[in-house]
Amino acid sequence: MRACFASLLLLLSGTASAQQLPPDIPAHFTPANTGFDHSRTEVDIPMRDGVKLHAIILSPRGLKDAPILLDRTPYGADDSSSKASSAHGAMLVSPANAMLLTAGYILVFEDVRGKHGSEGAYVNERPLAGPLNASGIDHSTDAYDTIDWLVKHVAGTNGRVGIAGTSYDGMMAAMALVHPHPALKAAVPENPVINTWMNDDDFHGGAFRLIGYDYYYAQDAAKGDAGDLWRDAYDDYDTFLRAGSASAFVKSRGLGQLPYVNRMHDHPAYDAFWHAQALDEILPKQKQTVPTLWVAGQWDQEDMYGAVAAYEAVSRNDRDHVNHLVIGPWKHGGWAGDGSSLGAVQFGSDTALWFRRNVMLPFLDEHLKTGGSSANLPPVLAFRTGANDWQRLDHWPQACSAGCASPVQRLYLAPAGQLSFTGPLVRTADAASDSYVSDPAKPIPYRLRPIRPTYAKGSTWGRWLADDQRAFADRPDVLVYETPALTQAVAIGGAPVVNLIAATTGTDGDFVVKLIDVYPDEYPEKPEMGGYQLGIAMDIFRGRYAAKGFGTPEPLVANRPTTIRFALPNANHMFLPGHRIMVQIQSSWFPLYDRNPQTYVANILDAKPADYRKATVTIFHAPREASFIELPVVPAGPAPVATTTTSVSD
């Protein structure tokens, strides 16, 4: 009986084995892509230390004698192009890259060391070889080794390589200019990170950008993208106010596990740590040989400093004129999208598309295509907002302190909320100063509430610098000064410089200054813009750096008038007749920047609840204690009758 049962089991198991269903996944699948107009190849490129970096090569089929354009990124090379959603390569990439692919460029997207598909250790904003990096391996050497491999292994190339990228990728393009590979013939750093302490991502005027924690969590908490940092409130104003100090927020989210977050904490001033990786200080130390197109956005909410600072630094010793600067009316990365408007502000046509077709592509063609023709670019090409036209310029900035055709002009703060080009309008009965109470418990928001996290759905982060500033002008802790309606245009070309004589009852404090274009109360062209207050150049300065500079903080002396001097972001703008020029002054911009406790502490990121105290801030405007803005005023010329971005004026 038992033997029969065992035999039956063997028979059944054998039958089941014989009848097992075959798999639906073949051992190898060959796509039927003979009709594709491109090829997409994944490669792992060896570096000099044996580490392999993952890259995607997207190439139009049938190309011969083609240039290569490289983008090195921490954001995922695989995400730079779809894998097989179309037979047409131009449909797999962004519109900007589609233009290049159609124009006959081989596109290469590479994961930087340690991110996504690349081997090695990721170091956020890895410093170049030097005092902070003794390994001899950096983004410059990785770019060199990548280019060397590409020109030797990619079929159909003419041996010429360009490098381009936005933001972090723009920093990668800038770092490739340090000891560049001989095959690197062009670079386009777009909105690049150049100096993260000096007014790019991490600090502005010494004030720390709280919203940067979202970025460092997403980048550093995982080899890929760690996603969004969790919140416990819909409004970031509430989230950060409840947290208290920056360090308290870090502790509440476990961000102390991230080395870069700790490095920012340990270096709150502009010390040797930041100098050693400041590209605006490093690049000018060697002759620049690679033709470079620096691309800046006038309303870049992330890296408004980098492109202009780098251009100004390297162009001081650029006898071969290899450097060019473009300033467009764009947000961060706006050059690659629709440049017709930013928020409520219209520019007359698609400025970004015009730039890509008429500037970027001709520049790359000139230097990368075999026998490429001259792009005929000026040293500086700047869109003039207000007038809405492009200007060909021979230098930047256009105005200077003295001894040139366009010296800066002082715009004085005056009693009764006035602004004047002729000096303080002081009579015997006029007050010599204005005051407000700054309360850290009620900081001024930097954009309308609710403030969504930077990358959250519904966030207005991309356009906030062009937001209407009327929402803040009537607060009691904001001082407002403005000119009468202009009878003739006032044009500026450069960075306005703030010169305040200020005193505070505290021993530290922040100073936010906004230069604003106020539209006429009634605006027939677009009625809803009547009275609009458009920020033209706005930024912050931390008072502890007023006396001895950004490397040496010291307390303010309570109630002692002190000179607060700092540069606002660059602008190329025309204030039109009928408009007014306005200046707003305040002492917080939250939660974009951490709150100043207004009591001097060694490291504001560690401030305790008891350190945050109200302070009365006084701004002086008497003849001997004059406060003013140095405006880089340039000849305005006639405003265009019809605004267009297809015309270029000299």
Containing 68, the helix (H) or strand (E) segment is: strand 66-73
Q: Within a 13 Å sphere around the CA of 588, how many CA atoms are in the beta-carbon half?
A: 27
Contact 618, 362 (CB under 8 A): no
The helix-helix angle for 306-315 and 168-175 (nearest 10°) equals 20
Q: Which of 130, 142, 149, 129 is nearest to 41 (CA)?
A: 149
pLDDT of 428 above 90: no
Quote the pLDDT of residue 429.
61
Contact 99, 61 (CB under 8 A): no
* The amino acid at 377: L
Quote the pLDDT of residue 51.
98
Q: How confident is residue 571, by pLDDT bands cut at 50, 70 and 90?
A: very high
Q: How confident is residue 640, by pLDDT bands cut at 50, 70 and 90?
A: very low
Cβ atoms within 10 Å of 213's Cβ, excluding its own: 21
52-60, strands of its sheet edge to edge:
38-46, 52-60, 106-111, 66-73, 157-166, 184-190, 292-297, 323-328, 380-384, 389-393, 648-649
Lowest mean pLDDT, pick from 337-351, 398-412, 475-489, 535-549: 398-412
Integer Cα distance of 17 and 29 in angstroms = 26
Greater pLDDT, 406 or 303? 303
Which whole number is the average pLDDT over 276-305? Answer: 97
Q: How confident is residue 643, by pLDDT bands cut at 50, 70 and 90?
A: very low
The CA–CA distances, whole Å, from 551 to 510, 512, 548, 602 equal 17, 20, 7, 13
Q: How confident is residue 86, by pLDDT bands cut at 50, 70 and 90?
A: confident
Enter the tokens of residue 586.
């305040």
Which whole number is the average pLDDT over 293-298? Answer: 98
The CA–CA distances, whole Å, from 314 to 165, 308, 641 equal 19, 10, 37
Average pLDDT, the chain: 93
Contact 593, 540 (CB under 8 A): yes
Integer Cα distance of 88 and 85 in angstroms = 9
410 CB contacts (<8 Å, ≥6 apart)?
421, 423, 628, 629, 630, 631
* The amino acid at 475: R
β-sheet bridge partners, residue 59: 39
9 CB contacts (<8 Å, ≥6 apart)?
none
Question: Over the Cα atoms of the chain, what is R_g?
Answer: 28
pLDDT digits (tens, 9 = 90+) for 103-137: 999 999 999 999 999 999 999 999 999 999 999 99
Contact 145, 48 (CB under 8 A): yes
Q: What is the CATH number of domain 409-637?
A: 2.60.120.260
Which whole number is the average pLDDT over 162-171? Answer: 98
Q: How confident is residue 649, by pLDDT bands cut at 50, 70 and 90?
A: low
Contact 628, 620 (CB under 8 A): no
Which whole number is the average pLDDT over 249-259? Answer: 98
pLDDT of 641 above 50: no
Q: Is 236 helix (H, G, I), strand (E, B) or coil?
A: helix
For tokens 């100063």, the residue is 433
pLDDT of 12 above 60: no
pLDDT digits (tens, 9 = 90+) for 493-515: 999 999 999 999 999 999 999 99
Q: Which of 197, 199, 176, 401 is nearest to 296 (CA)?
A: 199
Q: How confident is residue 82, by pLDDT bands cut at 50, 70 and 90?
A: confident
Q: How confident is residue 535, by pLDDT bands cut at 50, 70 and 90?
A: very high
pLDDT of 54 above 70: yes
Greater pLDDT, 147 or 29? 147
Burial class (CB within 10 angstroms; exposed 0-12, middle 13-18, buried 19+) of 421: middle
Contact 408, 398 (CB under 8 A): no
Quote the pLDDT of residue 425.
62
Q: How confident is residue 427, by pLDDT bands cut at 50, 70 and 90?
A: low
Phi, psi at residue 462, to the nearest 5°?
-65, -25
Quote the pLDDT of residue 644.
39
Q: Within a 13 Å sphere around the CA of 535, how many CA atoms are in the beta-carbon half?
A: 29
pLDDT of 308 above 80: yes
Integer Cα distance of 170 and 145 in angstroms = 18
271 CB contacts (<8 Å, ≥6 apart)?
551
For tokens 């200019």, the residue is 177
Contact 161, 71 (CB under 8 A): no
Sign, CA dihedral 124-127-128-130, equals: negative
Q: Is 633 helix (H, G, I), strand (E, B) or coil?
A: strand
The domain segmentation of the chain, as residue ranges, is 409-637
pLDDT digits (tens, 9 = 90+) for 444-487: 999 999 999 998 988 999 999 999 999 999 999 999 999 999 99
73 CB contacts (<8 Å, ≥6 apart)?
80, 109, 110, 111, 112, 165, 168, 169, 172
Share of the chain above pLDDT 90, in %: 87
3-state helix, strand, coil in the chain (%, to 5): 25, 25, 50
Quote the pLDDT of residue 406.
81
Integer Cα distance of 211 and 592 in angstroms = 6
Which whole number is the average pLDDT over 14-24? Answer: 74
pLDDT of 161 above 50: yes
The CA–CA distances, whole Å, from 299 to 196, 464, 479, 521 equal 17, 9, 23, 24
pLDDT of 35 above 90: no
Integer Cα distance of 482 and 485 in angstroms = 9
Q: Which of 345, 399, 411 is nearest to 582 (CA)?
A: 411
Quote the pLDDT of residue 64.
92
Integer Cα distance of 298 and 517 in angstroms = 14
